[in-house]
């Protein structure tokens, strides 16, 4: 028998995002976002799904909060829909939007659950996309204004803030791969956006300090790990290019004030350059209070010419895959966390997302998602090992509280520890919910 024990001040939570759960897409003055446009464009989302209703959490948040309370979590990570606050992205504020989040945050606090608020989890106001979106520096300005509104409005009530969720997805997946809204396929555009996102992040942190906002602010890049197929230098370098892009590109500027030079050169060979203006790197390099890490999967990589952006091919190694096709690779979680700490020092880290897609359905009232439990056991073990090694882990947010709208995969991919029936919107606790409840309450689990 092995006991996996966590530090006594470890915080346990769950995570969601506005467009993925709220629904009420056209209510109370909410403006359109790029995900409304994208999901209503035929062929973009599996089965033509969209977030018009989603989990209807906009109306059912009290039920959701009861599920959280019974689970015993002390923190909940959610995101605010920018177009609910500023239907046109900037200018006039929609009081109903603020009112909704006040009611929601009050309800969390009344139930003893601390809110962690993500300001940007992908639902850019469509009005800002119409003037170029994140490729236009005016969007950076609009974002800082929106953030300022939120800091002032919720000062003292929300004490944990995240500027951006998964900048790699916002830039390269949405604007180079084209799999997410707005669905562009342009490497220069994606690179411009990656830089503007970092500037937006840094200026928002500056604004947070300037206003003397209570609490802490961080940032939540997604990570992955690439393990070289062999120790051949070419394989090692190819894998490090992937890591340099997925991890360092979005963290080196924040912690060190510069981009990884090898990738700057790599992109330059492809005719792509960063749109750095005077003062940008200073704006980006703001001390943050914590780093959020999202981790789901790792890969084995091998050098192959003209493959992907970085001449690295993914090698099929027969690892188990979740139902979204991502390899289960808990060592990658350990490696990413060690790597980040080694590179940037002992920064406080929240695991802002970790979890697994398994599509188990209810059978006579129960959802037996044993594979999700196994995934969580493996990843929490890796987390425990890294904590033992001295990495400064403050908390863990399981993605996700509920099954929800999984972006381009629509409702076909389920990440929740609570099952949602999308016809009736009935919530049903899965076996993993009960398993996680024990972890949260005991602060340990056993094999
Ligand atoms: C990459 C698609 C080909 C979410 C990607 C698609 C095609 C090279 C889960 N994290 O729902 C990454 N998630 O909202 C945030 N993380 O490429 C939260 N990463 O690529 C979860 C999807 C993702 C992705 C999805």
d(CA 312, CA 263): 14
The tally of domains found in the chain comes to 1
Report the nearest-CA residue for atom 11 of ligand 1. Answer: 406
Q: Which of 85, 26, 13, 82 is nearest to 54 (CA)?
A: 26
Domain hosting 219: range is 3-446
Report the nearest-CA residue for atom 24 of ligand 1. Answer: 169
pLDDT value at residue 48: 98
Q: Which atom of ligand 1 is nearest to the CA of 296?
A: 16
Question: Which of 407, 413, 415, 416 has most ligand 1 atoms within 8 Å of its beta carbon, as the pocket-test mutant?
Answer: 407
Alpha-helical (H) ranges within 121-184 are 126-129, 137-154, 167-168
Q: Which of 375, 402, 351 is nearest to 68 (CA)?
A: 402
d(CA 275, CA 300): 32
**What is the percent of the chain with per-residue pLDDT over 90, rounded to a whole number?**
100
Give distance in angstroms: CA of 3 to centre of ligand 1.
32
CATH of the domain at 137: 3.20.20.80
Give distance in angstroms: CA of 169 to centre of ligand 1.
7
Output the average pLDDT for the chain: 98
Q: Which of 161, 170, 54 is nearest to 116 (CA)?
A: 161
d(CA 5, CA 2): 9
How many Å separate Cα 251 from the centre of its chain?
15
pLDDT value at residue 252: 98
Report the nearest-CA residue for atom 9 of ligand 1. Answer: 406
Give distance in angstroms: CA of 296 to centre of ligand 1.
9
Q: Are 16 and 23 in contact (CB under 8 A)?
A: no
Enumerate residues lining ligand 1, CB below 6 A: 17, 20, 166, 169, 173, 177, 179, 222, 294, 296, 353, 399, 406
pTM here? 0.98
Give distance in angstroms: CA of 345 to centre of ligand 1.
27
Burial class (CB in 10 A: 0-12, 13-18, 19+), 92: exposed
User: Of the residues 166, 227, 242, 406, which is catalytic?
Assistant: 166
pLDDT value at residue 440: 98
d(CA 110, CA 258): 43
CB atoms within 10 A of CB 374: 16
Give distance in angstroms: CA of 419 to centre of ligand 1.
20
Please list the rounded mean pLDDT of every run of 10 residues in the chain (447 residues).
Answer: 96 99 98 99 98 99 98 99 99 98 98 99 99 98 99 98 98 98 98 99 99 98 98 98 98 98 98 98 98 98 98 96 98 98 98 99 97 98 98 98 98 99 98 98 97
d(CA 430, CA 363): 11
The position carrying tokens 């906002």 is 213
Give distance in angstroms: CA of 324 to centre of ligand 1.
10
Distances (CA, A) of 150 to 15, 189, 212: 19, 29, 13
Give distance in angstroms: CA of 406 to centre of ligand 1.
8
Helix (H, G, I), strand (E, B) or coil at 238: helix
What are 31's two structure tokens? 């403006």
Report the nearest-CA residue for atom 21 of ligand 1. Answer: 406
> Is residue 273 annotated as a catalytic residue, yes or no?
no
d(CA 346, CA 264): 27
Helix (H, G, I), strand (E, B) or coil at 368: coil
Question: Which of 172, 293, 353, 356 has most ligand 1 atoms within 8 Å of its beta carbon, as the pocket-test mutant?
Answer: 353
> Is residue 62 annotated as a catalytic residue, yes or no?
no
Q: What pLDDT, in 10s, does the model give residues 78-128?
A: 999 999 999 999 999 999 999 999 999 999 999 999 999 999 999 999 999
Element (H, E) at 279: none
User: Of the residues 227, 242, 313, 353, which is catalytic?
Assistant: 353
DSSP 171: I
Distances (CA, A) of 78 to 81, 130, 358, 376, 446: 10, 26, 22, 21, 29
pLDDT value at residue 28: 98
d(CA 314, CA 305): 12
pLDDT value at residue 302: 98
Report the nearest-CA residue for atom 14 of ligand 1. Answer: 17
Q: Which atom of ligand 1 is nearest to the CA of 404?
A: 11
């Amino acid at each position: 028998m092995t006991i996996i024990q966590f530090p006594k001040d470890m915080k346990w939570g769950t995570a969601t995002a506005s467009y993925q759960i709220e629904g009420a897409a056209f209510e109370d003055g909410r403006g359109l976002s790029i995900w409304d446009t994208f999901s209503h464009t035929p062929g973009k989302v599996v089965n033509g799904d969209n977030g018009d209703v989603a989990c209807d959490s906009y109306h059912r948040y009290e039920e959701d909060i009861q599920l959280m309370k019974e689970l015993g979590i002390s923190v909940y990570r959610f995101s605010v829909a920018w177009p609910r606050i500023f239907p046109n992205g900037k200018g006039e504020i929609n009081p109903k939007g603020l009112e909704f989040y006040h009611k929601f945050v009050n309800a969390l606090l009344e139930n003893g659950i601390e809110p962690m608020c993500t300001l940007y989890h992908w639902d850019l106001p469509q009005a800002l996309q119409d003037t170029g979106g994140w490729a236009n520096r005016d969007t950076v300005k609009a974002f800082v204004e929106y953030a300022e509104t939120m800091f002032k409005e919720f000062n003292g009530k929300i004490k944990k803030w995240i500027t951006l969720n998964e900048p790699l997805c916002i830039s390269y997946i949405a604007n180079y791969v084209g799999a997410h809204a707005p669905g562009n396929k342009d490497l220069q555009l994606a690179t411009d956006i990656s830089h503007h996102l970092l500037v937006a992040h840094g200026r928002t942190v500056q604004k947070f300090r300037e206003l003397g906002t209570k609490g802490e602010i961080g940032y939540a890049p997604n990570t992955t790990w690439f393990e070289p197929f062999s120790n051949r230098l070419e394989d090692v370098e190819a894998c490090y290019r992937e890591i340099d892009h997925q991890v360092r590109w979005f963290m080196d500027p924040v912690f060190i004030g510069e981009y990884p030079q090898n990738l700057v050169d790599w992109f330059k060979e492809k005719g792509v350059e960063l749109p750095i203006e005077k003062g940008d790197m200073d704006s980006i390099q703001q001390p943050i209070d914590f780093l959020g890490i999202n981790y789901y999967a790792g890969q084995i990589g091998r050098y192959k010419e003209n493959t992907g952006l970085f001449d690295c091919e993914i090698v099929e190694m027969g690892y188990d895959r979740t139902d979204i096709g991502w390899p289960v690779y808990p060592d990658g979680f350990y490696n990413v966390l060690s790597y980040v700490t080694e590179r940037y020092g002992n920064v406080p880290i929240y695991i802002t997302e970790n979890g697994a897609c398994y599509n188990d359905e209810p059978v006579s009232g129960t959802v037996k998602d044993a594979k999700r439990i196994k995934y969580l056991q493996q990843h929490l073990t890796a987390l425990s090992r890294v904590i033992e090694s001295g990495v400064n882990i403050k908390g863990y947010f399981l993605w996700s509280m509920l099954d929800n709208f999984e972006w381009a995969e629509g409702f076909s991919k389920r990440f929740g520890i609570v099952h949602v029936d999308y016809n009736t919107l009935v919530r049903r606790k899965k076996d993993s919910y009960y398993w996680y409840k024990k972890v949260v309450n005991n602060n340990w689990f056993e094999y």
